[in-house]
A and B are shown apart, each in its own frame.
Chain A
């Protein structure tokens, strides 16, 4: 399983890693949030992630929903909806960015050719008052962006693990839920299936300093994930540290009855996790 294959991907991975190295500085900048939305961070970030490419408005191709305030800084639910048509072609990839986080690129999702994903929900760590933005790349190569502003959480909420021993004890455990389609008038078996994939992993940021040794605790997170059905790619993800602990993805896709759903994941320590679930016709 390879996660790094094309140039754009490599560059984004590099940004994730570079940002990790520059932790102290970027962390300071990141956490000094203000309540007034500004896009200065994005303006300087844009070129690093997308080069000189023009980014167009979303035009309903992609939309994003997140709470106005990050209630729990470690777990902020984010919902993405996609709508493509014959003109734009299918969606190739979506990049999810938290401007003010120490490592802004939360994840890059790449979709299989006939995956038919129209909805994807995940959970993010949000360190400070920040724009959360999603940039979709359509088949014609164009980029479309949407964003929403999230206020930082108040009180003692922190983007850190709550129950560290538990997280490590069940590292790599996966759970898949399939939600029956209730939409009226849909043909069973040909209908998009909604699914939730959960992976037990601390998804450690590496931004955590041991106050006694003054050393940073090494990062440990899921960096690659592939969901497939049969031989067909549904979705792959290159992740960073802004994805919450116990990474969680709820998405729909055009399922083919009778074929197993397979998930492969790899973390920064080189550990690989995989699991497989039969997809019963009754659940479609």
Chain B
């Protein structure tokens, strides 16, 4: 990270454009020689970076999900660390370009690598890692596998300093974190996208950080419970937010309108799979034909729809 690359130059450029209103400590960012993640200030003291709707690769450094931070009177809370330690460092650089306040919390919204591979970068910040009470178990089940399976797409260089760092502060039900005159409400959800989904609500700005309970543009992925996800959509809608930062998609997004595309997709997917199960269609065949009408509405449909259909089939045939 010592030499500025073309990409880092581009990013820094974008950073200036987006964050003209923020207090940019250019000198500091440059002296650290760190690439700065191009976050934008979407509300006072609320900064977010929109990841690309792509698979994680060495080229995009795993920067495919939305990551954010909230600055209170005393401290900073980070929401998701990104898909590589490199992204985690860029996020820290973006925070340091904004404020000197300590990073008190790193909140992980769930287990997936694009959201937690950056955890290792936060070791030196002293941040307490916060997660759903099921997150340590989920990482125990998958951590080693993730470290192996992403080697191919991310490459050895990026993988070298990626570690699975589980949360030490666990959330059951609802809990509040205080950043100094600024309270964040954390909520642990029942199985939906995964069995360890956690959301963050910033009361001061009315910003709702959904984690991957909300996907826009990027096809949602099923790694928990389709029925559980559908069943909790009304609870999600009931969150009285001014704006949302979805796990994937535009930053910020309108709330609760942000939930509409995925709700439509879930209903079509569930309908098609339920019909196939009732008709006795074998799984292998059913998953090829499910929700095909949705193809044009999403990025990464080819990559994830059949997987979603497979998971949905295995779940719904127990109804």
Given the complex, which residues of B lie within 8 Å of A160, measured CB to CB?
Answer: 138, 141-142, 145
Pick from B114, B141, B153, B287: contact of A71, CB under 8 Å: B287
* Cβ contact within 8 Å between B317 and A250: no
Of all chain B residues, the one with the shortest Cβ separation from A66 is B284
Judge if B211 is at the interface, Cβ distance under 8 Å.
Answer: no
List, in ascending order, chain B residues with CB within 8 A of A261's CB.
Answer: none
Residue A137 is within 8 A (CB to CB) of chain B in the complex: no
C-beta contact mask, B269-298 vs A, less than 8 Å → 1, else 0? 000000000001011100100000000000
Contacts of A33 in B (CB 8 A): 152
Kindly report which residue of chain B lies nearest to residue A245, judged by CB atoms.
B314
Once bound together, how far apart are the Cα atoms of A65 and B287, in whole Å? 15
In the complex, which residues 133-149 of chain B have their Cβ closer than 8 Å to any Cβ of chain A? 134, 136-146, 148-149
Residue of A nearest to B196 (CB): A164
Minimum CB distance partner of A246 in chain B: B314
**In the complex, how many angstroms separate the beta carbon of A197 from the nearest chain B beta carbon?**
12
Could you tell me if A27 and B144 are in contact, using CB atoms closer than 8 angstroms?
yes
Q: Contacts A31-B148, A77-B283, A123-B283 hold; do A166 and B140 have CB atoms under 8 A apart?
A: no
Q: Does B221 touch A at the CB level, under 8 Å?
A: yes
Asked if A123 and B318 sit within 8 Å, CB to CB, the answer is no
Find residues 145-180 in chain B having any chain A CB closer than 8 Å to their own CB. 145-146, 148-149, 151-153, 164-166
Q: Is B41 part of the contact surface with A, judged by Cβ < 8 Å?
A: no
Whether B224 sits at the interface, judged by CB under 8 Å, is yes
Given that A71-B310, A209-B144, A211-B139 are known contacts, is A162 also in contact with B282, CB under 8 Å in the complex?
A: no
Q: Is the CB of B284 within 8 A of A65?
A: yes
Query: Is A67 an interface residue when CB atoms closer than 8 A count as contact?
Result: yes
The smallest beta-carbon distance between A144 and chain B, in angstroms, is: 23
| Residue from the set B194, B223, B307, B311 with the largest chain A CB neighbour count within 10 Å | B307
- Smallest CB gap from B280: residue in A: A179
CB distance from B142 to the nearest CB of A (A): 4
B318 and A200 contact, CB distance less than 8 A: yes
- Determine the distance from Cα of A200 to Cα of B314 in the docked complex, in whole angstroms: 11
Give the interface SS of chain A, mostly helix, strand, loop or mixed: loop
The chain B residue sitting closest to A214, CB to CB, is B140
Residue B112 interfacial (CB < 8 Å): yes
A154-B153, A165-B191, A211-B139 known; A127+B310 contact, CB < 8 A: no
A75 near B310 (CB under 8 angstroms)?
yes
Cα distance, A71 to B284, chains bound together (Å): 11
A163 within 8 A of B: yes
**A88 near B: Cβ within 8 Å?**
no
Q: Does A157 contact B (CB under 8 A)?
A: yes
Q: A27-B148, A208-B140 are in contact. Are A75 and B318 (CB under 8 A)?
A: no
| Chain B CB within 10 A, most for which of A27, A31, A65, A79 | A31
Q: Does B303 have its Cβ within 8 Å of any Cβ on chain A?
A: yes
Sample of 19 more A-B contacts, CB < 8 Å, known A77-B282, A156-B112, A211-B139: A32-B148, A71-B309, A75-B314, A123-B283, A127-B145, A155-B56, A155-B303, A155-B307, A156-B221, A156-B223, A158-B141, A158-B146, A162-B222, A162-B224, A163-B228, A164-B134, A175-B318, A211-B164, A244-B314
